[in-house]
Amino acid sequence: MVTAKAILEIKKLHVSVEGKTVLSGASLTVAPGEIAVVMGPNGAGKSSLAHVIMGNPEYRVLSGTIELDGEDVLQLPIHERSRRGIFLAFQNPHEVDGLPLMDFLFQIHSTHRGDARLSPRKFRELVFEKCELVGLDVSFLERSLNVGASGGEKKKIEMLQLAILEPKLAILDELDSGLDVDALREVCAALKRLKEKNSNMSLMVITHYHRMLKFLEPDRVHVMCDGKIMRSGSCQLSEEIENRGFKVQ
């Protein structure tokens, strides 16, 4: 259930990277449990916004604020933002040869849990349970991270990480990138099952296309152009975009 209190509040964010302005006063609010979609053409600043929220040091924040659950996170490094509850699923997940997926998952989970980390046996039970939830074959656990995986399998591995960490806010950057309609349907179904298990988790979904919204049923749609949010509305706004393109009226 979406409540009035914001889990993420961004105000008048101005950002540059390599001397180029990528965000020009972006403001955005996401409520607990909300599925918020950010749409826009190439170069609008959507992925830049995701990287700035996560704390990518390549981006220079010139002015503005980012608050997570009322806390200013702008000065926090990536790992601290992650521990506060921010998760970013990449458009093109990296392959890491020689690092088994199970080892990677155990490391990130232990880092987040600290002294409350699970024993290897308990953690393995947890991972097997989450694999079933997201529809990922357990054989991937012994394989190198993302190596040899299809586009859909890589996105399911991202969903598995999300399921393990249980963040407050999951940012999904171009989740539909490289997926055919069947793979997209499977990945979105996995995401919806995760959302049902954790109704308070907020999703910020970044996409170019309307097709993904047919599977996710967002609460709020935001249109981004020229580095800022130009329009916001219900899911009907995405249908208007599908018919008319990214026009600001």
Task: Give the model confidence (pLDDT) of 141-199 as tens digits.
Answer: 999 999 999 999 999 999 999 999 999 999 999 888 888 889 888 999 999 999 999 99
List C-alpha distances in Å: 75 to 5, 23, 48, 80, 233: 23, 18, 17, 10, 31
Which pLDDT value is given to residue 1? Answer: 36
Percentage of the chain exceeding pLDDT 70: 97
Looking at per-residue pLDDT, the higher value among 117 and 227 belongs to 227
C-alpha neighbours within 13 Å on the C-beta side of residue 86: 28
Annotated domain spans of the chain: 8-93+167-244
d(CA 94, CA 92): 6
CATH 3.90.1150.10 fits 8-93+167-244, yes or no: no
Which pLDDT value is given to residue 115? Answer: 67
Digit-coded pLDDT (tens) for 68-109: 999 999 999 999 999 999 999 988 889 999 999 999 999 999
- Residue 247 pLDDT greater than 80, yes or no: no
- Residue 35 pLDDT greater than 60, yes or no: yes
Kindly report the CA angle at 93 between 89 and 94, in degrees rounded to 5? 135
Q: What is the pTM of this model?
A: 0.91
**pLDDT average, residue stretch 232-244:** 81
């955005």: which residue's tokens?
28
What mean pLDDT, rounded, does the chain reach? 91
Q: Decide: 41 and 33 in contact? Cβ < 8 Å.
A: no
d(CA 96, CA 167): 23
Which pLDDT value is given to residue 180? Answer: 87
Tokens of 76: 């926090």
- Residue 3 pLDDT greater than 50, yes or no: no
- Residue 249 pLDDT greater than 60, yes or no: no
